[in-house]
């Protein structure tokens, strides 16, 4: 079965750039989606179809997808960006989620 | 702006059936531009897709849960529902409902989630 792999944790200093990866076999051939989830809250869509931002999501959040890896990049990271981030893709009619990455800003 | 709200019992006994409802407000389930889905998250763990449905009744299930779950829609009440049969402790989770846009295939937005605990 198809799997998406994310690093369990990523740390970044305030103002620096954070990159969170999501790996899967030929993932670049699929659309990738990213969600963030803050403690006690529901997931929120931050990137769809690899690199598109929903309204209200700042431009400093971007996405890319090529080969076997999709990457979520957060520029000028702020403490408010601290959250769990999940990648997601579709394998036919089945949605798949990565295991999630905890982004720590310190 | 569409909003989704999950409802159902917070406690279910092992081997029993779990039933949840998601009420949609701010848009019609029958609008045809979306599918309607369920996702769950065990405490302290990641997200797991369960199923989604179209207003016409077409259903799609996670292969790993297909044998125990059912999803249905009631367009007259603007609601859709999830049933999980023969629950075990492993079914303890926060259950979310979410909209799936047919134009983008993104889950957006999500409901606030409801915690279901399986315990005797």
pLDDT digits (tens, 9 = 90+) for B69-92: 999 999 999 999 999 999 999 999
Rounded to whole angstroms, how far apart are CA atoms A73 and A22? 12
What percentage of chain A reaches a pLDDT higher than 90?
99
Question: What's the confidence (pLDDT) of residue B22?
Answer: 98
**pLDDT per residue as tens digits for the range B50-62:** 999 999 999 999 9
**pLDDT per residue as tens digits for the range A39-96:** 999 999 999 999 999 999 999 999 999 999 999 999 999 999 999 999 999 999 999 9
Contacts of B67 (CB under 8 A, 6+ apart): none
Substitution target in B37, B47, B53 with the highest count of A β-carbons within 10 Å is B47
**pLDDT per residue as tens digits for the range A70-83:** 999 999 999 999 99
Of the candidates B19, B13, B15, the residue with the CA atom closest to the CA atom of residue B70: B19
Q: Residue A68: left if φ>0, alpha if ψ -120 to 50, beta else—which one?
A: alpha
Asked if A9 reaches chain B (Cβ–Cβ under 8 Å), the answer is no
Asked if A38 reaches chain B (Cβ–Cβ under 8 Å), the answer is no
Rounded to whole angstroms, how far apart are CA atoms B52 and B64? 14
Question: What's the confidence (pLDDT) of residue B53?
Answer: 98
Residue A66 sits at the vertex; the CA angle it makes with A37 and B102, to the nearest 5 degrees, is 55
Mean pLDDT score across all residues of chain A: 97
Maximum distance among all Cα pairs of chain A, rounded to whole angstroms: 39
Contacts of A52 (CB under 8 A, 6+ apart): A63, B104
Mean pLDDT score across all residues of chain B: 97
Question: What mean pLDDT comes out for the span A22-28?
Answer: 98
Question: What's the confidence (pLDDT) of residue B97?
Answer: 98
Of the candidates B111, B60, B91, B56, the residue with the CA atom closest to the CA atom of residue A90: B60
Chain A hits for B108, CB-CB cut-off 8 Å, are 45, 48, 54
Asked if A16 reaches chain B (Cβ–Cβ under 8 Å), the answer is no
Q: Is the model's pLDDT at A1 over the cut of 90?
A: no
Question: What's the confidence (pLDDT) of residue A52?
Answer: 98
């Amino acid at each position: 079965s198809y799997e998406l792999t994310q690093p369990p944790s990523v740390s970044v200093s305030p103002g620096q750039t954070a990159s969170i990866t999501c790996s899967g076999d030929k993932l670049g051939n699929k659309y990738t989606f990213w969600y963030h989830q803050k403690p006690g809250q529901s997931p929120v869509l931050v990137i769809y179809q690899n690199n598109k931002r929903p309204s209200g999501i700042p431009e400093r959040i971007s996405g890319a997808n090529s080969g076997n890896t999709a990457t979520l990049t957060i520029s000028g990271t702020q403490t408010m960006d601290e959250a769990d981030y999940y990648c997601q893709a579709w394998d036919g009619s089945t949605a798949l989620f990565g295991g999630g990455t905890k982004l720590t800003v310190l | 702006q569409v909003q989704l709200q999950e409802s159902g019992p917070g406690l279910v006994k092992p081997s029993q059936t779990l039933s949840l409802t998601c009420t949609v407000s701010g848009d019609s389930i029958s609008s045809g531009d979306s599918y309607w889905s369920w996702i769950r998250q065990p405490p302290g763990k990641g997200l797991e897709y369960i199923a989604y449905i179209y207003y016409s009744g077409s259903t799609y299930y996670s292969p790993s849960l297909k044998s125990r779950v059912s999803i249905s829609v009631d367009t007259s009440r603007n609601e859709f529902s999830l049933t999980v049969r023969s629950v075990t402790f492993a079914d303890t989770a926060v259950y979310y409902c979410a909209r799936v846009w047919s134009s983008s295939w993104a889950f957006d937005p999500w409901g606030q989630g409801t915690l279901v605990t399986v315990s005797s």
